[in-house]
Each structure stands twice: as structure tokens, then as C-alpha cells.
Chains A and B, each alone.
Chain A
Amino acid sequence: MGNRQEILLTGAGGQGLILASIVLAQAAVNDNKNVVQTQSYGPEARGGASMAGVIIDIDTIEYPKVVNPTILLCLNQASFTKYLPRIKKIGECVVIVDSTFVSGPFRDEYKVKSYPITRMAKEEIGKEVVANMLALGVLNASTNIIDREIFRESIFELAPKGSGELNQKAFDLGYSLYKHGSGQNKEETIQNSQ
């Protein structure tokens, strides 16, 4: 069971989390791993809460729902508040939050890493919609679960026609954000990235 990664991607509807989860799952397939992707469905297409789970394993995956998250991504405050308590192995689960929308509280034992994901997407790329791919860049840079090149190709494969390179650029920006902008809390991250 040591290989098993249980990833929760959470935020608001419209932030592209479902697509991000599909891209992540496709990347896992392309990287010859077993994968199951699930998502929570609400009646609203925009706004509301959005959550997707991706389980990646070398072994066959039976129970398809995330029980014991090893990676948690939160793109808004509501999801951070809701899903942080789902973590069972506190300190072992990688917690990545978007400081544009999430303001804590960041208790030390959770080792929350905060990055200005949406703000960077807007400022550096000029498009907020690619925040999801930027988040995947940060996520993969932090955890190395998928080969970086395979991940980039998967993004190109699934991106809407004509936007492949832009989405790859966002993914790469996630890597540099991880390298330069990681912080244990929000204040630090914002200062670093400014």
C-alpha cells in the first residue's frame, strides 16, 4: 500500500478542478500507473463546492473513494475549512493551498504550503482559467508522482484546441512557483513572490 496516493482537489465550481483531476488521472495512465478518478456532483455548474478525488497506485485500485488523503489541494477558503479535518495522517499529507483565496488558519502540524496560484495565473499568464494547471504544476513539483514530461504531454492532449501550450506554460509556472515561492504560511509566500 506504500505506493498508493490519494489526492483530493478541492475548491469552488468553475475553478477547473474536475478538469484538473481528469488531466492528473490521464497523466497517471500515460505514466503506466493505475488510477481511479471520482468527483462530487452538485446541481450547479458554477459556484458551489467542487471536489474531485484521484487515487494513483501500482496495485489494482478497489475502493474508489479517497479515505486517507496523501495530497490535498485547496483553491478556496471553504474547501480548506471543510477538507483539512479529513486528513488522517497529519503532517504526512501534502497540503497545498491557493493564498489568493485561502487565509488559514495554518496550524504548524499540518505543514500547509501556500502559493498565490490564481494571482500568478492572472499576473504572469493573463488568464485566471489556467490556475488549475498551475496548481497541478505546484502539486507535481512538490510530490513528483508523475514524470514531468509525461504530465506536460497529457496536458497538451486534454487541453482545448489551441490552448495546449498556454496550459503547459501554466504547469511550468507551477514548478517555478514551487521552487521560489514555497512557504509554510501565507504571509511568507506572498512576500517571496512579490
Chain B
Amino acid sequence: MPETKPVLMQGNEACAEGAISAGVRFYAGYPITPSTEVAEKMAVRLPDLGGVFIQMEDEIASMAAVIGASIGGMRALTATSGPGFSLKQENIGYAIMAEIPCVIVNVQRMGPSTGVPTAPSQGDVMQARWGTHGDHPVIVFSPASVYETYYLTIAAVNLSQKLRQPVILLLDEVVGHMREKVTIPKDSKLMVEKASDKVPADWKPYDDKGLAPLVPFGFGHYYHVTGLFHDQYGFPTGDPPQVERSLERIHEKLMKYRDEVILTNYIGHKEPRVVIITYGCTVRSARAVVKKAYWNNRMPVGLLSLQTLWPFPDKEVKEVARKADVIIVPEMNMGQIVGEVERHVKDEAEVVPLNRYDGEMISPDQISEMIGRWLA
């Protein structure tokens, strides 16, 4: 018998459980639908684990507190939704610039503004990419199921620690609120090593040569942390070559670990004529279609699902574009990732958007109908 028994779990709960499995012991947040269950779960679980749960006075403070805790050596996460995600942007940029690991969960709801707080949407894809100002690197994951939420949260925490880079987990209301059967490994060795004060003699907090570990405050390494452009020791600089090098370095570190950063999955025909590219809950509708069209009927159809939205999986998209005649991009917005697909596909295939923005999921029928039009 397996030691772990399957349980019924909500997406938002799985996010909290994944964070805990990955060693997150600090949560700061502010209540907002449809992400509140993440906070509620953390409020119950963290005190028993010797961790810290704090409800802050606003979304900005929550983001700031998470960064502060991370500098103290605690793995930290916050969760929010659209309006709160907007408020957090400045401090997300700070964490990117100062290279402080943290995870930001955005359970997307229908916007703009207050929008429809309880309706699902995938409208924050571009905000996740470009929400904070300046030319910054971002990592954004988008799960399609409760279990995927669990393991992508773990991946987000670990990657964030490893690259000293904030990772954004872009859930949608469907995945955040649905309950599914999942099997969560018990006592798993999912945690990567703890923050340590042990550093090499020549340690520099922002080493030009590559990735330096973050040494938490309080261990006698008196470096400076700032959102200003800084030298290898963290001190402000406006020197053009140093500024340029510094900006390039924070971008390069993501590409150096591309295999761990960019996660996608292709299912379907080996020589597809029509490929669906999608992410988040929309993957489920697409998979239902591909199951029928390819599994049952051997139609030349495939699905490239994107677990990573940013950095954009350019190679993977180009590869399917070389085979396919048509690429359908269903999204619960007015067309966000489709532009990026077009940018990389160029003339290799026809790119067709499929958009829905009435606060409902894209149904399998909508996708089948679209495929039918091209295969007819």
C-alpha cells in the first residue's frame, strides 16, 4: 500500500501545501477574492510549523514584508488577485533588482479594475510580464490542475531560491477554486537546502561572475541591499558599464537555467496540422478536445500546453510551428499570449486567436468547432 492516500484538495489549498513542502515558512498577505483560501490555509498551518503568518495592512506592505522576511533567511510567499497584484508591482520590481527570492501568487479574476471578482479570467498574462517598470526578467508559471498547482508552487519556490529571482504563479479562478483528487507525497524530499551563513571567502552578494548565494542578514556579512543599480557589493552606482552589465546579468541567469525555467508539454499527433497552444485552466478544455480528436479519431491535432508563460517558450513554439499549418491560441482574454506566439511563429504557420472574456471558461466545443473549420 502506498503511504499516502489520495485527498480532495482545492487549488488554492494545494498552493499553500506546495509552498509548505518547499520550505516556505513566511506568509504575508491581504484578503482578496479569489485567493483568500491560500492565506487562510497558511494561517492555520504555519504557526504549527514554527513559521510566521501575518496579515498586513495592505497589498503593498504584504509584498514588502515578504521581501524583508526573505532577506532574513525565511522562504516567503504572498498571494493576491488582480487589484492586489497591481499594487504589488513596485516591490516586485525591487525584489527582481535586489535579487531577493520570493513567490507571488496571483489568482486571476476578471478585470480591469474591480471587474467581476468571482469570475475566472486569464487577463493578467501581460501584467505578469510587464507589470513593474523597467527592463526586468520574470518567471511566470501557470498551472492547469490542482496537482500541477502543488508541484509548480514547489518549483517556483526552489527556482526562486536558486536564481535569487521572484517567481510569479499565475493561477486562474477555476484552478484556484476547483477541488480535485490529488495524491500529495508524504515527507517528500522536496525542500532544497536551507539558507546558510556559510559563504566562500571571496563572496560578493552580487558577483559579476554569476549566481552568488543570498546570505541572510544577521550573520556578520555587512552588505547593502537597494533597488538602485548597484555594484557587486550592493552599493549604488550610476556608472554606465556597470549598469549595463548588471541588467544583463539578471536576465542571463534565467537563460542559463532555461531547462528548469521553461516547462511545456506536447501531446498529440507526431505530424500535426493543427496545434493548440494554451495555458492555465484552458489546457483542460483543449486536452478534452485532443483526447477525442487524436486518441479516438487519429486526427492530425496536437496540444502544446505552457506551464511557463515567461520567459516565453520560444523554441518550443517554433518547433510545433514548423510542423503545423495552423496554431490556435485559446485564451480567456482579448488576446495576450497570441501576440507572442505570432512573434515567434512568423510565417511558419497561421496563428488564430480564440478569445473568451465573458467570465466563463472556454468550452471544448468552442475549440473543436475551430479545429473542425481548419481540418474540414
Direct contact of A and B (CB under 8 A): yes
Query: Which residue on A lies nearest to B367, using beta carbons?
Result: A63
Q: Is A105 an interface residue (CB 8 A)?
A: no
Q: Are B179 and A62 in contact, CB atoms less than 8 angstroms apart?
A: no
Residues of A within 8 A of B361 (CB): 63-65
Task: Give the bracket for the number of chain B residues in contact with chain A.
Answer: 20 to 34
Give the residue name and chain of the A residue nearest to B174 (CB). A64
Interface residue stretch chosen among B14-22, B78-86, B282-290: B282-290
CB 8 Å contact bits of A20-54 with B (1 = contact, 0 = none): 00100110110011111111111100000000000
The minimal Cβ–Cβ distance linking B82 to chain A, given in whole angstroms, is 15
Contact yes or no, A62 B287, CB < 8 A: yes
Query: Quick one: which of A25, A29, A41, A65 contacts B34, CB cutoff 8 A?
Result: A41
> Which residues 168-208 of B have a CB within 8 angstroms of A?
174, 177-181
Q: Tell whether, in the assembled complex, residue A36 and residue B179 are in contact, meaning their CB atoms are under 8 Å apart.
A: yes
Return chain A residues, CB-CB under 8 Å to B8: 22, 25-26, 29, 35, 37
Complex Cα distance A42/B118, Å?
A: 7
- B357 CB, min distance to chain A CBs, angstroms: 17
Whether B41 sits at the interface, judged by CB under 8 Å, is no
A34 CA / B8 CA spacing, docked (Å): 10
Q: Quick one: which of B197-229 are within 8 Å of A by CB?
A: none
Question: In whole angstroms, how far apart are the Cα atoms of A40 and B363 in the complex?
Answer: 17
**Which chain B residues in 273-308 approach chain A with CB under 8 Å?**
281, 284-285, 287-288, 291
Q: Which residues on the A side are within 8 Å of B177 (C-beta)? A: 38-39, 41
30 contacts between A and B (CB under 8 A): A22-B8, A22-B179, A25-B8, A26-B8, A28-B181, A29-B8, A29-B181, A35-B180, A35-B181, A36-B179, A36-B180, A37-B178, A37-B179, A38-B174, A41-B33, A41-B177, A43-B118, A62-B285, A62-B287, A62-B288, A63-B284, A63-B285, A63-B288, A63-B361, A63-B364, A64-B180, A64-B281, A64-B361, A65-B361, A65-B363
